Chain A
Amino acid sequence: MLAPFPDFDIPIDIDDPLRDPIGVADAAPFENEDVARLVQFWQAERFAPELQPYPEVLIQDVTEMVEAQLEIIESMKTPPEEDFLDFSDARHDQRPFLAQLMMEEVEQIRFLLRSVFRVRLDKIEKFAQYFLESDRERVKMSMNEATYAERFLALQQRAFRASCLDRLPVSLQRMDDRFAGVSMVSMPDFSESVYFRVKHDVGHFVVDDGPDSVDMRADNVYIMKYRSVRRLVEIGSIEIL
């Protein structure tokens, strides 16, 4: 007969991820919502054309959690001296396996963090000038990111000036011109479409000053232009998928 499976449970989330993406409905005792929130933020950042406000507290909490977890994993790798030869303790045998499971989870969270940071850097590089010029956009960056944006913009402009702009007539040297109605400063394309899920009933939502309106109810999923729903994203009524 097969030995019973060791006495720990691996939580397997079989909930429909669209209905309950952060698992609020049946949160297990030790479940932490931060990771689910990070996943949600990661999705929004990847699919929204503009920068989402930097979630400082969330990032800090997750980073601290990862570090704490790493310490626990490290301590599991070096078992206490006294039970080193005590094979009667079943937990002893499970420890390396548990450590590995925990390590895999930590690696996945670290991947999320890296991906979030890199998606943001990509947007910051593309629209550095736009983000730095407007106070409203500037506060969406962390201190670190704002420094990055400033340094990157300076680097890029120096390269442009040294390779060609400096040798053009003075009237053509500017980097923030408008010509034929098109600004030289790149902006995010707010007319990109996004998928989103409604978090709580919004009621009749008028799309782009009408005449169309949509009765938005909780858990409905739509695809619309980002521009039309930008305000709903900001007040947190919907989440981007």
Chain B
Amino acid sequence: MVYGDEASKLIRECKRSHILIPYNTDVVRVVINEVAHINSELMTMQTQHPDIFERAEDPDYRGVVTAMMMMQRALRRNKQCLLAYHKFRLELVKQLAWEAQGLRALPADAKRNMSQQELEFYESYCDLLRDYSEASGGAQANLVSATLVPPRDLFIHVRALVDLGEIVTESGAVIELKKGQQDYVLRTDVEHLIAQGYLVHKGR
């Protein structure tokens, strides 16, 4: 076994895929076990050579000091890789939360690929986004749901992909969106439906 080999598998996994693939419970566990193993070895060496720090310059101890340094490095390396792996995945989880506009509506396959902790993070993060958006109020009310594309047209042509029934607009009017039907509507009224994939924006 080479120290850090398993941990680098996690990093390679991040490099390979930019969507949320199944959480790698096994490798994470192996890495954590490896850390525990190296740590106990290190502890044993320290108890065997309690005076190691005073004798760091002693040529007879050079081997022991080097071994301990290597282990210390391996521990840090493994921790760094673990955090990097989880951080990378949290970024993807955050992205899903933005796509769902903080509504906790999670596609089933994404949900399957998340660990329990990631699922909890996802839900709390959605709450956080909603709370922030509400607290900002006013013109930023649709902070989370609106697109980040500069607006060009006030009204747009859209086609409904599913029956959406009646939608109450900002101005209080009611519009009915039926499957397959093309409508000319106020962009801001339907933006969230486009983001959710219920409507498609037809070009001019």
Contact = CB atoms under 8 A, between A and B. Distances in A.
Q: How large is the interface on B (under 10, 10 to 19, 20 to 34, 35 or more residues)?
A: 35 or more
Secondary structure dominating the interface of A: helix
Q: How large is the interface on A (under 10, 10 to 19, 20 to 34, 35 or more residues)?
A: 35 or more
Interface stretch (A8-16, A27-35, A80-88, A158-166): A158-166
Contacts of B36: 168-169
Nearest to A172: B79
Contacts of A144: 132, 135-136
Secondary structure dominating the interface of B: helix
A117 B146 CA distance: 12
B35 A172 contact: yes
B39 A169 contact: yes
- Give the one of A156, A158, A163 with max B CB within 10 A: A163
A103 interface: yes
B47 interface: no
A66 B138 contact: yes
A147 B133 CA distance: 12
A164 B82 contact: yes
Contact of A66 (B125, B139, B146, B154): B139
Contacts of A110: 139-140, 146
Contact of A168 (B32, B86, B118, B138): B32
A121 B115 CA distance: 25
Nearest to B146: A114
Contact of B117 (A147, A162, A168, A169): A162
B117 to A, nearest CB: 4
Contact of A111 (B75, B90, B150): B150
B203 to A, nearest CB: 18
B71 to A, nearest CB: 12
B79 A168 contact: yes
Interface string A63-82: 10011000000100100000
B45 interface: no
A156 B93 CA distance: 11
A111 B151 contact: yes
B86 A148 contact: no
Interface in A17-35: none
A151 interface: yes
B139 A163 contact: no
Nearest to A115: B148
A107 interface: yes
Given A113-B140, A159-B118, A159-B121, A164 B32 contact: yes
A160 B35 contact: no
Interface string A155-196: 110111011110111011000000100000000000000000
A234 to B, nearest CB: 26
A114 B148 contact: yes
B188 interface: yes
A164 B139 contact: no
Contacts of A155: 121, 124-125, 128
Interface string B113-148: 001011011001100100110011011101100101
Contacts of A117: 136, 140, 143
B14 to A, nearest CB: 14
B31 to A, nearest CB: 8
Interface string A120-139: 01000100000000000000
Interface of A: 62-63, 66-67, 74, 77, 100, 103-104, 107-111, 113-115, 117-118, 121, 125, 144, 147-148, 151-152, 155-156, 158-160, 162-165, 167-169, 171-172, 179
Report, nearest first, the 10 A-B pairs whose CB atoms are least far apart: A159-B121, A162-B117, A107-B151, A163-B117, A169-B39, A164-B82, A66-B139, A63-B138, A167-B32, A148-B132
17 contacts: A74-B171, A103-B154, A114-B146, A144-B136, A152-B128, A160-B83, A160-B86, A162-B120, A164-B83, A167-B32, A168-B35, A168-B36, A168-B79, A169-B39, A172-B35, A172-B39, A172-B76
Interface of B: 28, 32, 35-36, 39, 75-76, 79-80, 82-83, 86-87, 90, 94, 115, 117-118, 120-121, 124-125, 128, 131-132, 135-136, 138-140, 142-143, 146, 148, 150-151, 154, 171, 187-188
